């Protein structure tokens, strides 16, 4: 076994995806500073409530 992990072929059960998404969202919301994530096309992927307080037009 090589110990390598290929994210491209990883296919977790939908319940695992839901739980992971919730954990990520909870972690980002717990950050006291504004947080924003854009993809390589400069499209908003996600942000926390603190960021929306500064930039309410993003909702």
Walk along the chain (59 residues) in steps of 10 and give the mean pLDDT of each run: 68 82 93 94 92 84
Distance of alpha carbon 3 from alpha carbon 47, whole angstroms: 33
| CB of 9 closer than 8 Å to CB of 26 | no
Q: Which residue has the tokens 């919301």?
A: 29
Residue ranges covered by each domain of the chain: 12-58
User: Would you state the pLDDT for residue 57?
Assistant: 83
Q: Render the burial of 19-57: b for 16+ CB within 10 Å, e for the rest.
A: eeeeeeeeebeeeeeebbeeeeeeeeeebbeebeeeeee
User: Would you state the pLDDT for residue 1?
Assistant: 46
User: Would you state the pLDDT for residue 10?
Assistant: 73
User: Would you state the pLDDT for residue 8?
Assistant: 75
User: Would you state the pLDDT for residue 3?
Assistant: 67
């Amino acid at each position: 076994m090589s110990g390598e992990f290929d994210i491209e072929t990883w296919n977790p059960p939908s319940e695992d995806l839901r739980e992971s998404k919730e954990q990520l969202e909870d972690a980002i919301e717990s950050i006291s500073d504004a947080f924003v994530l854009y993809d390589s096309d400069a499209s908003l992927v996600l942000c926390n409530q603190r960021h929306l307080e500064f930039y309410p037009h993003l909702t």
